[in-house]
Amino acid sequence: MTHPLTKTEWREALLPYQQPDLRRAIWQLVNTFVPYAALWALMIYTMRQGLSYWITLALMVPAAALLVRIFIFFHDCCHGSFFASRRANRLLGYVTGILTFTPYEYWRRSHAGHHATAADLDRRGVGDVWTMTVQEYRAAPRWRRLAYRLVRNPFVMFVLGPFFVFVVGQRFAQRGTRWPERRSVMITNLALLVIGVVASLLFGWRTYLLIRLPVMILAGSAGLWLFYVQHQFTGVYWSRHETWDLITSGLEGSSYYKLPKVLRWFSGNIGLHHIHHLRARIPNYHLQPAQDAIPALQEVQPLTLRGSLKSLRLNLWDEQHQKLVSFASLRALPKPGAA
């Protein structure tokens, strides 16, 4: 695809939207944290009063949706975009990271790696969804193919995955992690322990866990889905490193997920992921104004909610045809060396 603007022109067009707005940032915190705290109070009340757990579960849905929005604030802080102040971003990043079970410094570094390598076939494995090429899959031993199929299974990825990613996986730093990132993991774990102990003393560990874990898993499932469809969709761009291009990676390697207005609000406009990958320093509250004002962005083909469901069947990158394909389609694809 030939893009209407050069790299310099894109930078100039997006630069005005990069500037943080303190009033909008504070208003987002108010209109998110106040209802989130109120829902927590209501859920604790229903549990303490012995009301049906189904009532508590119903309250968990909007609470989980608000937690997704809180994660977007965390995400912006990791990019240094939510506030103009680096210290304010770091402070809010730690607070929102604790609420979402995600260590700030640790995730910030890995996510920066994701932005630097997104859609680059030669630099996969940094903060992305495990994606194999058709050739790699066919050449892999049986155990690795089974492991890959297991990871790509929707039930594993979106039902079991949130627990293992957020509750378990992010409690540990990988080998070779630098001290600042390792320290953030320790601080987050300690904070979660303190919160758990205090909550247990105030209203009981059973009440806390029966609220905290379902809310976290529901939010995590929605978050993993959003992250998945941002880079796994029909028509997505992937390339080998020698031909990889940053602008193309943003406009074609990241989706424009056109969600209903209410879902855009809860997801902090993260569906405008093509803009985010073009200019990561744009805060979530300026993404939609940028989309509305820049004609070149409106030329990107949107991914609809209904159309995104097809992404569940896309499992492997077919280098020959430059597209994602399903496991079922492997039988129809010619093997290397076949006539």
On whether residue 338 sits in a domain, the answer given is: no
Q: Are 100 and 71 in contact (CB under 8 A)?
A: yes
Place of tokens 């997505």: 236
State the amino acid at position 2 in one-letter form: T
What is the percent of the chain with per-residue pLDDT over 90, rounded to a whole number?
89
On whether residue 100 sits in a domain, the answer given is: yes
DSSP secondary structure letter of residue 294: -
Q: Which domain holds residue 232?
A: 7-332
On whether residue 313 sits in a domain, the answer given is: yes
- Give 339's pLDDT tier (boundaries 50, 70, 90): very low
CA 141 to chain centre: 30
C-alpha to C-alpha distance for 119 and 253, rounded to whole angstroms: 6
- Looking at residue 38, its pLDDT comes to 98
**Residue 158 pLDDT exceeds 70:** yes
pLDDT digits (tens, 9 = 90+) for 82-100: 999 999 999 999 999 999 9
Instruction: Give kind and range of the element (H or E) at residue 58.
Output: helix 53-78
What are the CA-CA distances from residue 211 to residues 47, 104, 140, 207 (Å)? 9, 23, 42, 6
pLDDT digits (tens, 9 = 90+) for 237-257: 999 999 998 899 999 999 999
Q: How many domains does the chain have?
A: 1
- Looking at residue 1, its pLDDT comes to 53
On whether residue 57 sits in a domain, the answer given is: yes
Q: Are 282 and 276 in contact (CB under 8 A)?
A: yes
On whether residue 311 sits in a domain, the answer given is: yes
C-alpha to C-alpha distance for 284 and 213, rounded to whole angstroms: 27
- Give 61's pLDDT tier (boundaries 50, 70, 90): very high
Longest dimension (CA), the chain: 72
**Residue 45 pLDDT exceeds 80:** yes
On whether residue 267 sits in a domain, the answer given is: yes
**Residue 2 pLDDT exceeds 60:** no
**Residue 136 pLDDT exceeds 80:** yes
On whether residue 2 sits in a domain, the answer given is: no
Cβ within 8 Å of residue 24, ≥6 positions away: 283, 285
- Looking at residue 203, its pLDDT comes to 94
- Give 122's pLDDT tier (boundaries 50, 70, 90): very high
- Give 175's pLDDT tier (boundaries 50, 70, 90): confident
Q: Report angle CA 3, 9, 11 to the nearest 5 degrees.
A: 110
pLDDT digits (tens, 9 = 90+) for 210-228: 999 999 999 999 999 999 9
- Looking at residue 176, its pLDDT comes to 87
Instruction: Give kind and range of the element (H or E) at residue 323.
Output: strand 323-325
C-alpha to C-alpha distance for 70 and 74, rounded to whole angstroms: 6
**Residue 338 pLDDT exceeds 90:** no
DSSP 3-state percent helix, strand, coil across the chain (nearest 5): 70, 5, 25
pLDDT digits (tens, 9 = 90+) for 183-209: 999 999 999 999 999 999 999 999 999
Instruction: Name the residue among 36, 23, 34, 30 with its Cα closest to residue 83.
Output: 23
The whole-model pTM stands at 0.94
On whether residue 240 sits in a domain, the answer given is: yes
**Residue 129 pLDDT exceeds 70:** yes
